[in-house]
Amino acid sequence: MARAAAFKFALTSYLLAAALTGTAPAAARGPVHGPAEATVSVSELPRQGRETFELIRQGGPFPYPKDGSVFFNRERLLPPGKRGYWREYTVKTPGSRDRGARRIVCGGPPRLPDACYYTADHYASFRKIVEP
């Protein structure tokens, strides 16, 4: 009984502090898009990322069978798009015996996508790819 009361007190204190400071819990805020989103320039991508990005713009051929498959954006870390809008491509990871964790995810037309994002941590975070 005392444990439940202590939990309720802690939760109430946390929510009150969040309300007073204007910061919401991370899960309630959702993904960040727009001017505040993280970016990476094409030249800052690892060599393998630059190669994959160039293959995307050429329309392939791609070295992995799953390249170009639909990315469903279930975690909603990317801007919303209709089903089939996002497609994923493997960025080779040196020393990895499988596809590794690095990907480029692009939305829009295959050869001239509206936007592309790079992830080095298997979809846990994304950085928008920008060209100078």
Catalytic hit among 44, 75, 122, 131: 122
> Is 33 a known active-site residue?
no
- Measure the CA–CA gap between 107 and 116, rounded to whole angstroms: 6
| pLDDT confidence of residue 111 | 86
| pLDDT confidence of residue 45 | 97
- Measure the CA–CA gap between 5 and 25, rounded to whole angstroms: 21
Q: What is the pLDDT along the chain (132 residues), one digit of tens a residue?
A: 565 554 454 445 444 444 444 444 433 334 444 444 799 999 999 999 999 999 999 999 999 999 999 999 999 999 999 999 999 999 999 999 999 999 999 999 988 999 999 999 999 999 999 987
Fold of 33-130: Nuclear Transport Factor 2; Chain: A, (3.10.450)
Give the CB-side neighbour count of residue 20, counting CA atoms within 13 A: 6
In a 10 Å sphere around its CB, with 0-12 CB exposed, 13-18 middle and 19+ buried, how is residue 53 labelled? Answer: buried
* Adjacency order of strands within the sheet including 86-90: 39-41, 127-130, 115-119, 103-107, 86-90, 69-70
Token representation of residue 31: 């993904």
Domain boundaries, the chain: 1-30, 33-130
| pLDDT confidence of residue 91 | 98
Token representation of residue 34: 């727009």
Catalytic hit among 37, 54, 88, 131: 88
> Is 44 a known active-site residue?
no
